[in-house]
Amino acid sequence: MKTKYNFSAGPSVLPKPVLEKARDSLIDYEGSGMSVMEMSHRSAEFDGIFRRTESLFRKVLGIPDGYKVLLLQGGATMQFAMVPMNLLARGGKADYVLTGNFSNNAYKEALLFGKPISVAGSTKDENFRRIPAQGELTLDPDADYLHLCSNNTIFGTKWQYIPETGRVPIVADMSSCILSEPVDVSRYGIIYAGAQKNIAPAGLTLVIIREDLIGDPLPGTPTMLNYKVMAENDSMKNTPPCWPIYISMLVLEWIVETGGLEAMRERNRSKAGLLYDFLDASDFYQTNADAEDRSLMNVTFSTGDEEKDKAFVAEAKEAGMSNLKGHRSVGGMRASIYNAMPREGVSYLIDFMRDFAQRKG
């Protein structure tokens, strides 16, 4: 059966109105006679796209003065190196909280730079079922920064609070929850996010950085990994990812048109609530994340039987639902219900889950 609903963890589903606008302007963007994919990044047409995109990020996320918006490449994974390269030159040590695969990878990358990097908290021994509480964190008041991953795509957990760190800036990887709800940017030193969850196609990385954190990086830092260089060149030291930037502009316009991040949060809570309520009432399925730390974007669950899980994924695909297989670290299933997933997609999944349980239970 043709895919009806795409539950991919990323690259993920995009809003249909955005895809339609992109399709209509694919050959000729606003009478320019060119596609965005082929115009110069130095052209007046693209400059307009770039400036509007930055302005919309500031508007939608409520980014205050004193923060720079960078539209970079390399994905969130490149930020795993870029953050320590640029911030460890200040004092030379950092704290990391390990709550899943990506925060662990960021920690491993930071260790490469020969500086004291501490684990401030971890739930690894519980297979990352939950987020550590404030009282479980061991924080260094002299650290250059505290790094965390706000939403854990693989394990289906999310930070429901912002840690108190005193004067230590928080660096947050928000790749899989960015634009899903309002965020107080002023509580963070750096927010970064790969685009391919809620922003745009893969290839763009959003970095929001407090200006006082932009300075001289560690010796030997490559030019393209230097925040100061990228900030001074308005993210255009080289050719930026023009097409993903354009799509992000359309996505941000769609968010504004549909009520902004407050309305987006309510829709996401409603969608996730439907699915979690069904799971909590079921004797057939079990969830993998503790209730108080559940993600609104990535719902992880299983039947408890590997063969049944495989059958679920296969039969769901036949029913028109793609990419429901869970990550190998967790197994089971994962439904990624990002902003663009409609409520009816979640209802369709629940109907299938109910039928599957009746047949296999």
Q: Radius of gyration over alpha carbons of the chain, in Å?
A: 21
To which residue do tokens 């409603």 refer? 270
Domain limits, the chain: 17-257, 260-360
Q: Tell the CATH superfamily of the 260-360 domain.
A: Aspartate Aminotransferase, domain 1 (3.90.1150.10)
- DSSP-derived letter for residue 135 is G
241-298 tens-digit pLDDT? 999 999 999 999 999 999 999 999 999 999 999 999 999 999 999 999 999 999 999 9
CB within 8 Å of 172: residues ≥ 6 apart: 147, 148, 149, 150, 188, 190, 191, 192
Question: In CATH, what class is 17-257?
Answer: alpha beta
97-126 tens-digit pLDDT? 999 999 999 999 999 997 899 999 999 999
Using a cut of 0.85, tell me whether the model's pTM lies above it: yes
The answer to whether residues 147 and 97 touch, using CB atoms and an 8 Å cutoff, is yes
208-248 tens-digit pLDDT? 999 999 999 999 999 999 999 999 999 999 999 999 999 99
User: Which helix or strand (DSSP H or E) is residue 207 part of?
Assistant: strand 205-210
